[in-house]
Structure 1
Amino acid sequence: MHAEIHGHRGARGLRPENTLPGFAHALELGVDALELDVALTADRRLVLTHDLTVSPITSADVRPAFHDDPLFPYVGRPVRELTLAQLHTLEVGVRLPRHENDRFAPTQVPVPNTRMPTLGAVLGLVDAYGAHGVRMHVELKSDPTRPELGADPRELTERVIAELDRHRRLDRAAILSFDWRILEIARSLAPATRRYALIERATMDSAWLNGLRLDDFDGDIAAAAAAAGGTTISPEHVLVDAEFARRAEKADLPMVVWTVNEPGRAAELLDLGAAGLVTDYPDRIRALWAERGMPTPESITPMRHTGT
């Protein structure tokens, strides 16, 4: 069986998440896809951030973008209220855990003086690596229960698809979202591009599912995902058991599971038929693939200037 390895926010367990150094590290380890998160700034730029408000864990204020900026400090403010110039002042290469049990702090190598990248910058990095076979899995951050925090889902989807198209990536990309309105919009704008219906317990209601009610599908989330326009169902790993896998197969949807960091759980999910695993530790999952005699994704060597 061929199953894929997807680097979660690059390789969050190893390098700062959603950063160019993190994606570079994931490419050099070898992954089938890079998973990343995007939101829209005040000046309509696509930036990489998991949170719709600037996170105090992944971001730190350094200086204001200009003298007496009334919005400074930026940490804790909605991304949509800040410009790219303001967001570019943040330090995003050093994790600042809130407590000593932060599971990534001991394993994530800091990369100081790292800035929040745009989607275009990440696509440029992947092109520079010559990683043409690595797919870009773009999660569009949108919260239908808090519309004041995010962009209009249609504008966000249009801008992401336009950027992927500009880099000739639509055939090697996927649109991901918990907000299933985005799946419907993406299906109309780029029907050939894969669409991942993300799901966790907190989003299994009609507000997130584009108005669909699970009761109308006898509780079958996979059937609902197919009806919503998903081409892949992507659940949190705690949701997946044999019955979930059976329903995904019945709906004819590949099952790509997140976020899977322990090889033992990864092995269980492979046995249940997972088509791919999203992981913070691509190195661990690659080792499991090798143990099982499964082909591992190509490790991509960066192009280096050798001089004359």
Structure 2
Amino acid sequence: MRPENTLAAFRYSLGLPEVSTLEMDIGITGDDRIVVSHDRAVNGAHCVDTAPVRPGDPLFPYVGKQIRQLTLAQLKTVDCGSRTPPELPEQVAVPGERIPTLAEVFDLVRRSGRDDVRLNIETKISPTADDTAPYRQMTAQLVAAIERAGFAGRATVQSFDWRTIRLAKAIDPRIETVALVWQYGPQECATVADECSLQAVYGDPSVKSPWTGGLDWWKYRDLGKLVRAAGASTVSANWQVHDPNQVKVPDADWYRRTDPAYYSGPGVPVLEQRYGLKVVPYTVDDEATMQRVIDLGVTGLISDDPDLLIAVARRSGLR
């Protein structure tokens, strides 16, 4: 593994023949450039400052600043390859890696010759915070960049903020969209929060979620119907949303904890067969959970550990 959302990480993944999709997140800089970054601000857990773009720059240090506050030149001084997270001991540092532009990623994929690889691009934006470019600007710029690069037939746009996927589909119907879902239970959904994008407050129909692009879970009460109403062809949720047989197991790691309340039906076979949706849960990095999720019959699986996922998938007879 290599540091996330870097050219080194994408280059490494492109060298794995089993990898079919590169997943990335984007933001818009202060000078309107699309960059690939998991966070809406420069994350100090992954990135370190080197030097200001010019002496006396009042915005330096850049780590911790919002992407939209900084120019591309300022962001390009930040080293996002030297730090590796302790929870991913297999990750290999690549000192000097910079935050790439989306155009640089397109160019890397094109030069790799991997015409079979798709790009899954997430708009990193929240309807509850004013810390990014507006969703209309972000979506329009992203769609234009995809079209300009000639990737309309092999790129998907995904977001927890469904305003962006609905708008992307309206601008260019050729672009597939993915409805991201982050849903837990009563304890986590006590307030309108990122933890609950379907039911903003668990079990309370009077509180409408800001995440579903104007659509209301309580009108549909069915994940397949809701995602189809959003115009998406894929649903990508925390895996617990799809497991009807889970029992309550607390865990500090969001992706390992389970609770029957997290399930938001219908099950995977119904989503795939009745609604024609692809079901691609995220982000599973341990072997036991990978196997459990594969056994649900999902279409695909998102992981930060492609080597482990490939090994588990091979044992299950999957690609």
TM-score normalised to the size of structure 1?
0.86
Deviations 1:146-200 (A, max 9, x none): 0x20111111111111111122111011001000001110111111211000001
- Distance in 2 between residues matched to 1:244 and 1:234, nearest whole Å: 13
- Distance in 2 between residues matched to 1:40 and 1:181, nearest whole Å: 17
Paired residue for 2:75?
87
Deviation at 1:246, TM superposition (A): 4.6
> Where does 1:162-177 land on structure 2 (aligned, <5 Å)?
162-177=144-159
Paired residue for 2:26?
38
Q: Determine if the alignment matches structure 1 residue 222 to structure 2 residue 224.
A: yes
Deviation at 1:269, TM superposition (A): 2.0
Aligned residue type for 2:158: L
SS at match of 2:153: helix
Question: Relative contact order (alpha carbons < 8 A, sep ≥ 6): 1 or 2 greater?
Answer: 1
- Distance in 2 between residues matched to 1:96 and 1:268, nearest whole Å: 28
Select the residue among 232, 255, 259 that pairs with 2:283: 259
Large movers: runs of 4+ above 3 Å: none
- Distance in 1 between residues matched to 2:164 and 2:270, nearest whole Å: 23
Q: Determine if the alignment matches structure 1 residue 179 to structure 2 residue 161.
A: yes
Give unpaired runs (5+ residues) of structure 1: 1-13, 297-308
- Distance in 2 between residues matched to 1:273 and 1:173, nearest whole Å: 24
| More off after superposition, 25-34 vs 247-256 | 247-256
CA RMSD of aligned residues (A): 1.4
SS at match of 1:108: coil
Paired residue for 2:180?
198
Deviations 1:58-111 (A, max 9, x none): 1111110111101111111111010000000000002265xxxx312x111000
> Where does 1:205-244 land on structure 2 (aligned, <5 Å)?
205=200, 206-218=209-221, 220-242=222-244, 243-244=266-267
Aligned residue type for 1:47: V
- Does structure 2 conserve the Cα–Cα contact (< 8 Å) formed by 1:232 and 1:256? yes
Deviation at 1:230, TM superposition (A): 1.2
- Distance in 2 between residues matched to 1:49 and 1:80, nearest whole Å: 12
SS at match of 2:15: helix
Aligned residue type for 1:261: D
Q: Determine if the alignment matches structure 1 residue 289 to structure 2 residue 313.
A: yes
- Does structure 2 conserve the Cα–Cα contact (< 8 Å) formed by 1:56 and 1:96? no
- Does structure 2 conserve the Cα–Cα contact (< 8 Å) formed by 1:223 and 1:247? no
- Does structure 2 conserve the Cα–Cα contact (< 8 Å) formed by 1:197 and 1:230? yes
Deviation at 1:139, TM superposition (A): 0.5
- Does structure 1 conserve the Cα–Cα contact (< 8 Å) formed by 2:285 and 2:305? yes
Give unpaired runs (5+ residues) of structure 2: 184-194, 201-208, 245-265
SS at match of 1:166: helix
Deviation at 1:293, TM superposition (A): 3.0
Deviations 1:21-68 (A, max 9, x none): 000111112310000000000000000111111101111111101111
Deviation at 1:128, TM superposition (A): 0.9
SS at match of 2:173: coil
Count how many residue pairs are aligned between Structure 1 and Structure 2. 275
SS at match of 1:138: strand
SS at match of 2:8: helix
- Distance in 2 between residues matched to 1:193 and 1:43, nearest whole Å: 26
Deviations 1:280-301 (A, max 9, x none): 111112112222333x4xxxxx
Aligned residue type for 1:235: A
| More off after superposition, 280-289 vs 259-268 | 259-268
What is the percentage of aligned positions where both structures have the same residue?
Answer: 37
